[in-house]
């Protein structure tokens, strides 16, 4: 038995080479079966493409079934966009016009349409004044179409005029059927034209169905798909100013520039913590939310929050101090005056006894102390009225919870008996007077049957005494 071994080989170039494919041809204008007057110039426009690239197209040939070759050589190759144009004056009759594109490999692509040339008088003339060929518009704009139509046999206002747009891919839009003026003027507004490449056609028909045509290629741009400022956001994606790269939905809102930085629809609506309160630095905000958030990075800080004094010194309700002005009485033993109301930081009283009595009568729950110290008697303190120190009247009632004012009490101390209402002594130093005799004790605080007083958990409490009961 004999075996034969065949070895086959192919070059790498042949394997990778793209197969040649025939060109594709579409005659876009004039419309199929249009009628023209004898002697009229017929303008042809076609779109050529080739899977192997436009450079593969070697020649174009326009032919008529009546007149034969009406234009074709390598000088009429398509432009860089694939468009080919040609004009011809045809003999009377029904012409089958064929455009043949031949590529470098000899493959051809063709398209054919019918053109009727009538000798029943001259066709109307159409002059398209606006738009110009290859003008471009946004699809949000209005294209103003202006033309002049005339006819040698009848008045211009008796002509039938049709304004259409053809995308060359099977879509024909009937834009308008305007009536010309007595002077032949035609004006049409094409509102918000669809995005794409269109051939705008203006036709004028006379009573013998002779047709005059003018056309122009238009490019309609999708406005929502543009990113003119190159910020990565299109109008369709929410960019409210596509000419400003510092405004888009991906940016934070900034106070003070009067601009809608984050494209929310409202300028200066900065609310980072989403607590319903605008940053208080956004003074030009015109929306419906309050502009009163003193810390826009903390959702627990805004004028709606509860704000009792705390050792972290947080102004939770944004009234300008640690604590709630509306719930407090203010003491300044140096500049205060007991003739003041004590109800606001700028009208403090001078003594602890006055402030606690004022708080009790006004239904307020806190006494805030500025300065280094105050004096008290056993009867001064009241259940349910809390005390906080560490404030500085000279710095707008700012607070340092470690700067403790002293509350001086008798050496017999203060008796807290039967208190159940929550009462805090926060950031104060309770100091008893020295004992009155040798070996005697000083007592700062005595607590009996009381569950509401919290002097240690919320404060630094120093009792410089010999004995605490």
C-alpha triplet 91, 95, 96: angle, nearest 5°? 150
Please tell me what DSSP assigns to residue 441: -
pLDDT of residue 7: 38
User: Residues in the chain with pLDDT < 70?
Assistant: 1-17, 72-75, 120, 378, 437-439, 455-469
HSE-CB for 326 with a 13 A CA cutoff: 8
- pTM value is 0.54
H-assigned helices in 289-394: 352-362
Q: How far is CA 288 from the centre of its chain?
A: 19
Instruction: Determine the pLDDT at residue 455.
Output: 63
d(CA 464, CA 98) in angstroms, rounded, equals 114
Report the pLDDT value the prediction gives residue 6, as an integer from 0 to 100.
Answer: 39
Q: How many helices (H) and strands (E) does the chain have?
A: 2, 29
- CA distances to 389, 405, 408, 443, 461 from 373, rounded to whole Å, are 9, 5, 7, 18, 14
For residue 38, what are its two tokens? 């004898």
In contact, 311 and 291? CB cutoff 8 Å? no
Query: In 3-state terms, what secondary structure has residue 245?
Result: coil
Taking the CA atoms of 282, 283, 288 and 290 in sequence, report the sign of the dihedral they define.
Answer: positive
Beta bridge partners of 331: 349, 369
Q: Which helix (DSSP H) or strand (DSSP E) does residue 15 occupy?
A: helix 12-16
Cis ω for the linkage preceding 96 (within 30 of 0): no
**Full set of structural domains in the chain with CATH:** 24-118 (2.60.40.10), 125-221 (2.60.40.10), 325-454 (2.160.20.130)
**Running DSSP on this structure, what letter comes out for residue 243?**
T
366-392 tens-digit pLDDT? 999 998 889 887 678 999 999 999 999
pLDDT, position 5: 37
Tracing tokens 């012409």 back to the chain, one arrives at 95
SS3 187: strand
Q: Checking DSSP bridges between strand 196-205 and strand 160-166, what pairing results, if any?
A: antiparallel
Give phi and psi for 186, each to the nearest 5.
-125, 125
Read off the tokens for 233. 């956001």
Instruction: Give per-residue pLDDT as tens, 341-368.
Output: 999 999 999 999 999 999 999 999 999 9
């Amino acid at each position: 038995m004999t075996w034969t071994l065949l070895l086959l080989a192919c070059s790498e170039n042949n394997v990778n080479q793209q197969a040649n494919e025939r060109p594709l041809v579409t005659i876009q204008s004039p419309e199929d079966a249009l009628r023209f007057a004898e002697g009229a110039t017929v303008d042809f426009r076609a779109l050529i493409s080739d899977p192997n690239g436009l450079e593969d197209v070697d020649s174009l040939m326009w032919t008529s079934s009546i007149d034969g070759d009406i234009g074709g050589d390598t000088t009429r190759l398509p432009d860089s966009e694939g468009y080919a144009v040609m004009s011809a004056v045809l003999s009377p009759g029904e012409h089958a016009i064929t455009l043949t594109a031949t590529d470098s490999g000899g493959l051809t692509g063709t398209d054919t349409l019918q053109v009727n040339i009538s000798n029943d008088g001259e066709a109307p003339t159409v002059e398209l004044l606006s738009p110009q060929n290859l003008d471009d518009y946004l699809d949000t704009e209005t294209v103003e179409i202006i033309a002049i139509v005339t006819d040698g046999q009848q008045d211009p206002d008796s002509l039938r005029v049709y304004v259409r747009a053809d995308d060359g891919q099977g879509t024909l839009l009937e834009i308008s059927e305007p009536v010309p003026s007595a002077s032949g003027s035609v004006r049409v507004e094409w509102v918000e034209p669809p995005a794409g490449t269109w051939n705008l056609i203006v036709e004028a028909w006379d009573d013998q169905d002779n047709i005059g045509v003018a056309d122009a290629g238009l490019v309609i741009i999708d406005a929502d798909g543009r990113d003119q400022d190159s910020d990565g956001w299109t109008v369709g994606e929410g960019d409210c100013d596509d000419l400003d790269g510092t405004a888009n939905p991906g940016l934070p809102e900034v106070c003070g520039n009067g601009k809608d930085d984050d494209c929310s629809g409202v300028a200066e609506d900065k609310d980072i913590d989403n607590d319903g309160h605008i940053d208080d630095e956004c003074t030009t905000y015109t929306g419906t939310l309050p502009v009163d958030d003193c810390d826009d990075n903390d959702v627990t800080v805004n004028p709606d929050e509860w704000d009792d004094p705390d050792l972290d010194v947080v102004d939770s309700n944004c009234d300008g101090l640690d604590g709630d002005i509306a719930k407090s009485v203010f003491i300044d033993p140096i500049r205060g005056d007991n003739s003041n109301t004590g109800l606001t930081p700028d009208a403090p009283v001078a003594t602890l006894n006055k402030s606690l009595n004022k708080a009790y009568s006004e239904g307020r729950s806190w006494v805030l102390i500025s300065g280094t110290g105050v004096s008290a008697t056993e009867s001064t303190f009241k259940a349910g009225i809390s005390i906080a120190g560490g404030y500085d009247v000279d710095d707008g009632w700012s607070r340092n919870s470690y700067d403790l004012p002293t509350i001086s009490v008798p050496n017999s101390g203060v008796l807290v008996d039967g208190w159940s209402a929550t009462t805090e002594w926060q950031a104060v130093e309770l100091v008893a007077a020295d004992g009155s005799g040798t070996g005697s004790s000083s007592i700062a605080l005595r607590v009996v049957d009381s569950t509401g007083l919290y002097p240690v958990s919320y404060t630094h409490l120093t009792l410089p005494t010999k004995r605490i009961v």
